[in-house]
Chains A and B, each alone.
Chain A
Amino acid sequence: MSRQPALRVRDLTVTFGTARGPVPAVRDISFDVAPGEVLGLVGESGSGKSTIGLAALGLHDPARTRVEGSIRLGGDGPELVGAPEAVLKRVRGAKAAMVFQDALDALSPYHTIGAQIAEAYRVHHPQASRKEALRRAAAMLERVGIPAARASDHPHHLSGGMRQRVVIAMALVNDPDVLIADEPTTALDARVQRQILDLIRELQAETGTAMVLITHDVGVVAATCHRMLVLRAGEALEEGPTARLLTSAAHPYTRALVQAAPTLRTPPGSRLPTVEDPEPKPRAKARPRTAPAPAGVLAEVRDLRVDYPGRRRSRPHTAVDGVSLRVRHGETLGLVGESGSGKSTIARVLAGLRRPTGGEVRFDGRDISGAATNARLRRELSRDVQLVFQDPYASLNPRRTVEQIVTTPLRVHTDLDAARRRDRAVELLEQVGLSAAHLSRHPHEFSGGQRQRIGIARALAVRPRLVIADEPVSALDVSVQAQVLNLLMDLREELGLSLLFISHDLAVVRHFCDRIAVLKDGGLVETGPRDTVFDTPSAAYTKELLAAVL
C-alpha cells in the first residue's frame, strides 16, 4: 500500500504490573490500517485484543501498565505511546474514536442521548454553540437510523441495538480518522447484530474512516473486515486478507479457530476441530447424527403459561404464553430464541424451579407443576432431571472443592458412603476429560471450559434421564465451545441421554439437536425436525433469524 496508513502500530508491547509481578498482555504487535480499510483483530479471551485497542487511544493507566513500541495516527501523526495527557486528549474522540461492547455502560444514564452526542462534539469544537452542537447531534442520530425526535430520550428508553447506534453516533460525530470498535455487537441478538454490522460497514464506507474491529467471532470478521490479524496469548499469529485466512490459513490455530464454530453448512453432529491439546480422545465414532427412532414422550409441557410478578403495582409480566413442547426418550430438543423469548423460563419450569401460572407440565407421565413449591416432589424430580448452566463461573460455588461439588447430588439422592461417592466422582471426572487429581481443587483454579466440564459431571452424577442444558456453551470461547459440544455429543452417544438444549445460536443448535423449537416473545413460532426447520422454515420469523446468521 503506497498511501500513508491511518494507524501504524509497531512493536507494541503492553505489560500489566500485578501483585505477582509484571504480566505481558501483548508482545511485539505490528500492523497498519489504511484509510478506508477495516482490520479485524481476532482472538479468544486473554489474547490481548482489547489491550491493543485501549493502547491505541492511550487509555491504559500509566501507574500500572507499561506500554512500549510505537503507535502513530496517519503516518506522520504524533507518537501516542508515552504522549502527555494533553496530546492524547486532542486525539481521543477527534482523530481516533472508540465503540465499546456495553452501550449501557458507555452512556450516562442521567443525560439525554442528544445532549451526550452534542457534548462529544463540543469537547473538540469549543467554539461551536450549544445549538449548533445539538443540531449536529440530531443529524448524526438520523445517520445511524434513529429519528432525531428521540434525541431527548434517556438511554434506558432505548433498546440494546438503539443504544449501540447512539454510541456509534457519538464516536463518529467528530469524523475520526480511525474508529476502534471493541466487540461492538457481542451483547446483541443475532438480528440486531446483523443490523448494527451493516450500519457500521455502511458508515465506514461512506466516511472512509479506517476501522479496527476487535472480536472473538470469526463470523463477524468474515462479514465486515478486509483484513484480519489473528492473536493468541498476546502474540500475532497470522495476518492477511480475510478471504484467504478463512479458506486457506497457514497457521493451524487460525484454521481451528475458523472451523471450531459450527456454521449452517457444517455437517450436523460431526466432530468440531479444537485448539487445545489436552482434549479427551473421541470415544464415539464420528458419524452424522441421525434422529433416534420415535419413542415415548419423556417430558412434556402443554399450554404452558408463566407470569413474573410485576414490581410494586405494575402488571405481571408474561414470560411464556401457550407453549406446548415434548421431549421424547433419547432425543435432543433444541430451543432457540432471542433474549427475552422465554427459553430459560421453560427450562426452569421443567427442572421444577419455577411454578407455572397455567398449563400442564409432565415428566414421564407424572404431573410436576407443583415441584417449585413442594420440596419432596422437587427432590424426586431432580433424581431424573438435571441442569447444566450457562455461566460456569457463577454456577459452581467458589468455596467448595470439585469433589464436594460433584458429589452433592450423590449425597442428596443416594446412600453411598464417602469412599464410594469419591469413586463415582473420579469416574465422572474421567468421563468429562478431567482426572482424580482435580478432586481437591477449587473452581477458580480451572479454566472456563474445565469448569463447564465440572458442571456437566455434576449434572450426570445421578444418571439423570433428562439433562436440560441452558446455553451451556454461550459463555465459552469458540475453541472451548467446540470441546464442550464434542464432549456432550460423546456423552449423549454413550449414555443415551435425552436433552433439552437451549441456545440463541442457530448454528450450534443445528449442529447438536434432532428437533428444533423456535420461540419468540414467550410464544412458540415453529417446531419440527432439524432439517425441516433449517431447510424449509415455515415461519417468517425463523427465516429472519436464519438470514441474520453470519
Chain B
Amino acid sequence: MAAVSMTHVFRRDRVGIVSLAVVGFFVLLAVTAPLITALYGKNPTEHYGQNETGLLSPEGLPVLPNGGISAEHWFGIEPGLGRDVLAQLLHGIRTSLLIAFASAAVVAVIGVVVGVTAGYLSGLVDRAFTFVCNVLLAFPALLFLLTLGPVVQTRFVGHDESEPAWMQFTVLILVFSAFGWVPLAMVLRTVVRSLREREFVEAARALGASRRHIVFRELLPNVWAPVLVHITLAVPAIVTTEAALSFLGVGINEPIPDWGRMISRGSEVFYDDPTYMVFPGVSLLVFVLAFNLLGDAVRDALDPHTVR
C-alpha cells in the first residue's frame, strides 16, 4: 500500500528492473542525442551519401555491404538521401518520446479531472460523461487522423511553405489526447464510484469536510495507482501509433527524424537494402516491449493481491 512497500515489491521483480533499465536507457539516449551525435561527428539531416562520393551507387543504394555499415557510419546510411542511420535513429527517439510523453501528460490531466469529477458527482454529469465517452469510442480515430493531416495543411499552412514542426507535433499530441483520455477517465470513474461508497469518504463528510477536501485529500491519493499503470501502458501505445501514422505519411514530415518514416522508407527499399529496416524496427520493438513489461511490473507492484 505505502510507497515504501511498493518500491520494495518492484525491486524484487527482475523483469521489471530490466525493463526499467531499458526504458531509462532510451530516455537517456533521447535526452543526450545532440551530445552523442556531436561526439559521433554526424548530424541527422546532412546528406552524406550525396555530398561525398563512394558511399551511394548511382541507383541510390549504399555501396558497402549491410546498408553501408562502416567505421564512419556505424549503422550504415540511408538509401537515396544518404543520411546517417545512427544519428537519425537517436533523434527519432526524441520525436517519439516527445509526442508520447506530452500526450500521456495531457491524457493524465484530462482523464483524472474528468474521471474523478464524473465518478464523484454521478447523476446527470455522469450520464453526459458516459454518452461523450461512447461517442468518442465509436469514433474512427485512425481515419480521423488520416483525414486531419491534409485539412490542417490546407487550412493553416500557406501554399508554398511547409508545415512548421511545432504544428505537426501539436496536432498529433492534441489528437492523441483527445481520444486517449477516454479509457483512463472511464477506469477512474469506476474507481471513484466504488471509493465514494467506502466509509472513509462518509467519515470525511461526517467530519464536516468540504467537497474539495474530499476530492483532493481523500479520493485523489487513492487513484494515483491506476493512473500510473494506465500511463505506463499508454506511452508505448502512442509510440507505435505515431510510428504507424508516419508510416502512412500523415505523422511527422521530413526532415524531422522519425522511426515510422524510416520503417516506411525501409519497406520501399527492402529488397535491395534490408538492413535499413532492421535498426528502426528492432529499436521500436525493444522500446515498446520494455515499456509494456514495465507497465505490467508497475501494476503488479501496486496491486497487493497479485500472486507472484
Contact = CB atoms under 8 A, between A and B. Distances in A.
Contacts of A352: 206
Query: Interface range on chain A: under 10, 10 to 19, 20 to 34, or 35 or more?
Result: 20 to 34
A124 interface: no
Interface stretch (A183-191, A270-278, A395-403, A524-532): A395-403
B15 to A, nearest CB: 16
A381 interface: yes
A423 B203 CA distance: 22
Contacts of A442: 1-2
A395 B199 contact: yes
B134 interface: no
A170 interface: no
B199 A394 contact: yes
B209 interface: yes
Interface stretch (B64-72, B137-145, B211-219, B238-246): B211-219
Given A397-B218, A398-B222, A442-B1, A409 B208 contact: yes
Contacts of A378: 205, 208
Nearest to A396: B200
Contacts of A394: 198-200
Given A398-B222, A399-B221, A379 B199 contact: no
Interface string A377-416: 0111111001101110011111110001000110111000
A413 to B, nearest CB: 6
Query: Interface range on chain B: under 10, 10 to 19, 20 to 34, or 35 or more?
Result: 20 to 34
B210 to A, nearest CB: 7
A400 B203 CA distance: 13
Contact of B205 (A64, A353, A397): A353
Contacts of B2: 442, 444
A20 to B, nearest CB: 10
A149 interface: no
Contacts of A399: 1, 221-222
Contacts of A95: none
Nearest to A371: B208
A381 B208 contact: yes
A19 interface: yes
Contacts of A412: 207-210, 213
Contacts of B228: none
Nearest to B2: A442
A386 B198 contact: no
A383 B221 contact: no
B207 A397 contact: no
B308 interface: yes
Interface in B172-231: 198-200, 202-211, 213, 217-218, 221-222
A49 interface: no
Interface string B265-308: 00000000000000000000000000000000000000000011
A413 B207 CA distance: 9
Contacts of B205: 353, 378
Contacts of A387: 203, 206
Nearest to A468: B206
Contact of A389 (B202, B211, B221): B202
A408 B205 CA distance: 11
A351 interface: yes
A375 interface: yes
B213 A400 contact: no
B210 A400 contact: no
B94 to A, nearest CB: 36
A499 to B, nearest CB: 15
A353 B208 CA distance: 10
Contacts of B209: 408, 412
Q: Which 9 A-B pairs have the closest CB atoms?
A: A382-B208, A399-B221, A395-B199, A394-B199, A379-B208, A397-B200, A387-B206, A409-B207, A395-B203
Interface of B: 1-2, 9, 198-200, 202-211, 213, 217-218, 221-222, 307-308
30 contacts: A353-B205, A353-B206, A378-B205, A379-B210, A380-B208, A381-B208, A382-B207, A382-B208, A386-B207, A387-B203, A391-B199, A394-B198, A395-B200, A395-B203, A396-B203, A397-B200, A397-B218, A398-B222, A399-B221, A399-B222, A400-B217, A408-B207, A408-B213, A408-B217, A409-B208, A411-B213, A412-B207, A412-B208, A444-B1, A458-B207
Interface of A: 19, 64, 351-353, 375, 378-383, 386-387, 389-391, 394-400, 404, 408-409, 411-413, 442, 444, 455, 458
Given A383-B208, A408-B217, 4 more contacts: A382-B206, A395-B202, A399-B222, A412-B209
